Amino acid sequence: MTYKSMPKVELHTHLEGCAPPAFIRGLAQEKSIDISGIFNADGTYAYRDFNHFLEVYEAACTTLQGPEDFYRLTKAVLEESASHGIVYQETFVSPDFCGGGDVTAWREYLAAMQTAADEADRDLGITLKGVVTVIRHFGPEASKPTATCAVETFGDFITGFGMAGGEMVGRPGDYAYAFDMAREAGMPLTCHAGEWGGPSMVAETLRDLKVDLIGHGIGAIEDSNLVRQIVESGVTLEVCPGSNVFLKANVFGKGLERWGDHPIQKLRDAGVKVTVSTDDPPFFGTTMTDEFNMLAQTFDWTEDDFRTLNQTALDAAFCDADTRATVAKRLETE
Ligand code: ADE
Ligand code: ZN
């Protein structure tokens, strides 16, 4: 069976990371930008490892040069998501790639994304919300204007604040100023941790940034006390199994190579609230349909398991109550 048409809730995507390679090539051609080096001969994105992935990602972002490009990107991404049954998606968006941290420019980019999101909601039945995201390897100073952009635009479309990028750059506490700003403005919080940095990075992220969700978080499996703490605190993990296997994320000091070794099942069995997302689908050759099919194949998950997964994701989503109710209705229509 394929799960393509089953309604789905996806919490962890990066907007630029959802850009199909052909879309980025098209923009590059229009603007005469030479980024041929970031593609394989078959047209897919080419990179060696996680750090190189971040470089290729940023090279692709150089083709996204104004609000109109982000309008087109958002439209293309939502068409693809809707074709895999996604009815609600949260996506990381970064002022660093949209006007360089300037609030006025950021508002213009956001307006363009929101127009595309409104059109997709009306035409395709998919709702998109944005989570403003610090790029960790740009350093703690850069996180401050990002937090200002987040706080100034928190509202209907922007629903939360988070951090992505190179997890091994600095410690979570180095970014506490930005997270404190967002928390004081009432924003819900998430942060990538435990994709590369093991249980200590997850523990410090919870302690120093006081987040509601953790992006990935799979390194927590190495520490049973930490797993218990996560269960007791009700923190939800945004797990991205296909991404972790493709990038060979770090679990027990080794690169994850096989779906069967992914800790999602053990985390779930321990009582952790897990959700499933694609992260940057064209970069990792995955889709939400593939993720569901692989979970069914590897861990014998059934429709009931996927219904629970959707509900866990909807409960943890950063949206307002009206949106949550609308999405709940969409999940019922199976
Ligand atoms: N930015 C885009 N994808 C990412 C990932 N998987 N981890 C950290 N930062 C990212
Ligand atoms: Zn991510």
pLDDT tens for residues 32-45?
999 999 999 999 99
pLDDT digits (tens, 9 = 90+) for 207-244: 999 999 999 999 999 999 999 999 999 999 999 999 99
Does position 138 have pLDDT exceeding 90, yes or no? Answer: yes
Residue whose Cα lies nearest atom 6 of ligand 1: it is 279
Share of residues in the chain with pLDDT > 90 (%): 99
Give residue 55's pLDDT. 98
Q: Cα(201) to centroid of ligand 2, in Å? A: 15
* Ligand 1 lining (C-beta closer than 6 Å): 14, 17, 57, 164-165, 192, 195, 243, 279-280
Q: What is the mean pLDDT of residues 3-25?
A: 98
For residue 329, pLDDT over 80 is answered with yes
Quick one: fold of 9-19+66-332?
A: TIM Barrel (3.20.20)
The set of residues, in sequence order, having a beta carbon less than 8 Å from that of 144 and lying 6+ positions away, is: 177, 178, 181
Share of the chain above pLDDT 70, in %: 99
Q: How far is the CA of 258 from the centre of ligand 1 (A)?
A: 20
Contacts of 324 (CB under 8 A, 6+ apart): 314, 317
Q: Per-residue pLDDT tens for 155-210? A: 999 999 999 999 999 999 999 999 999 999 999 999 999 999 999 999 999 999 99
Q: Tens digits of per-residue pLDDT, 272-322? A: 999 999 999 999 999 999 999 999 999 999 999 999 999 999 999 999 999
Task: Indicate which ligand has the atom closest to the C-alpha of 61.
Answer: 1
- Please report, for the chain, the start and end positions of each structural domain, with discontinuous segments joined by +: 9-19+66-332
User: Which residue out of 10, 90, 167, 195 is catalytically annotated?
Assistant: 195
User: How many residues in total does the chain contain?
Assistant: 334
Residue 334 has pLDDT above 80, yes or no: no
The pair of three-digit structure tokens given for residue 62, joined into one six-digit string: 């150089």
Ligand 2 midpoint to CA 196 (Å)? 12
